[in-house]
Amino acid sequence: MNRRYFSFEIVLVSPLSLSSGLSENTDSDVLLDSRGKPYIPATSIAGVLASKLDKLDKPDSEKVNKERLYGKISPDGDNVKSHVIFYDAEYMEETEPIISVRDSVALEDKVGVDGAKFDFEIVEPGVRFKAYIELDDSVSEDDEKLFLDQLSSLDCGVLRFGHKTTRGYGQVKLENVRKKAFENVGDWLKFDMYKESCWAGAEEIKLSDKSADNDIIELELSLKSALSIRSYMTDVAADGEPTAPDYKYLSLRNGKPVIPGTTWAGVFRDAVARLMTVARLQEVKKMTDGKICELFGYVEQGTKNTQKSKITFSESIFKDGNSEEKLVTRNSIDRFSAATNDGALYTELTIYGGKTSFTVTLPKNTDDEMKTALLAAFADLDNGFVAVGGLTAVGRGIFEIDSIKLNGDDMTDRFKAYDFKDFFGGEQK
């Protein structure tokens, strides 16, 4: 026999939005087990890893046949069982998991689309899950290596869990990856993978970096103004306390302000579209829109036509001690009479200043024109021509880029000089 077991911890690097299909607390509640704790079901783990093999499939003799690992269900009854056995990844900490609520709305020209507002629960970063995977006797050494390549892709962020994975959600790291192999039936029967003592002497597995097919851009930013990315509140101020805000800046439960990847994606999709259509003929705009949809993805309303985004934006978490909170009370002003609108007084808890960062990942084979337009959009952000969040017309959301790295190399000087030629290792048009 040749039965192999793998044990590892899944650590959330970014929020996890894995829906249960229920809407008791929000429009989309997170998946919970019988203990009321979040978990990652075995089906999700299997689906994510199998999706990597779909991308690796090649025709004829070079084709990677994922049926050898994961089996298949065929309409004609020609079914093949999976030779990889997955188990649910269970929440492994004693403290209560931190589950927060995020609001989301579809925007068109910075105006909310009717009926496109919804909220959903997330599991915040830092949460740990314990996972186990079993390979049966029929899995060859070559297919075991292929399986480990998939784990590596999960570890480096190429593969992610849940929804909104290209917008900063569902990224994980794998820690304490171990392997236990059995060739003797007697030893195998004594093994209980849920007992830590049975993992004594297990082989430590070092995963490889599988991000070579992507360009990774890391940006360090300084906020030069206030930022208005809202989280609405229903709190009531206690007697003698200042007015409770109607809304505050979006933050993690620990109070750190965040900019979600959905915000960055919207900012740069709009900026790239604007830059690529300036001074172009109308007939060229259609081609430009096609390139943007191919890179940023799209959902065609009323149909099943969709394209998953090929570009990924991370979430930005502000660093400790760099931001200042301010409680601001404002009136809505009628633009014709310059008088205040009745009942339009509101209070906002916002932040001023601070430092943060975010990461953009895109395929190396991305169109050169799109790459150049993305760099130009970063330059617009750096110069204050592109703002982030709400109330940008009154000076909110202005950032400056402190540094920019491409695949680990510091490119700040070239970027600040607008030297975009050969920025990605190939001549940019």
Cα distance between residue 118 and residue 103, in whole Å: 6
Checking if the pLDDT of 371 tops 70, the result is yes
The torsion angles phi and psi of 70, rounded to 5 degrees, stand at -110, 0
Quickly list H helices, 73-140.
none
Checking if the pLDDT of 101 tops 90, the result is no
Give the model's pLDDT for residue 306.
80
- Per-residue pLDDT, averaged over 242-262, amounts to 84
List, in sequence order, every residue forming a beta bridge with 130; answer none if it has no partner: 9, 90
* Amino acid letter for position 304: K
What angle in degrees, to the nearest 10, is found between the helix axes of 368-382 and 261-277?
Answer: 110
Give the model's pLDDT for residue 385.
94
* pLDDT band, very low/low/confident/very high, at 255 (cuts 50, 70, 90): confident
Query: 297 is written with which tokens?
Result: 């993805």
Checking if the pLDDT of 59 tops 70, the result is no
Are the C-beta atoms of residues 420 and 376 closer than 8 Å to each other? Answer: yes
Are the C-beta atoms of residues 159 and 150 closer than 8 Å to each other? Answer: yes
Are the C-beta atoms of residues 203 and 37 closer than 8 Å to each other? Answer: no
Q: What is the pTM of this model?
A: 0.81
Checking if the pLDDT of 196 tops 90, the result is yes
Burial of 149 (0-12, 13-18, 19+ CB in 10 A): middle
Which residues are within 8 A (CB) of 318 and not within 5 positions of it... i.e. 6 or more apart?
223, 256, 257, 258, 351, 354, 355, 356
Q: What is the pLDDT of residues 303-360, one digit of tens each?
A: 777 878 999 999 999 998 788 988 888 776 666 776 767 766 778 889 999 999 999 9
Q: What is the DSSP string of 371-384?
A: HHHHHHHHHHHHTT
Query: 258 is written with which tokens?
Result: 């965040």
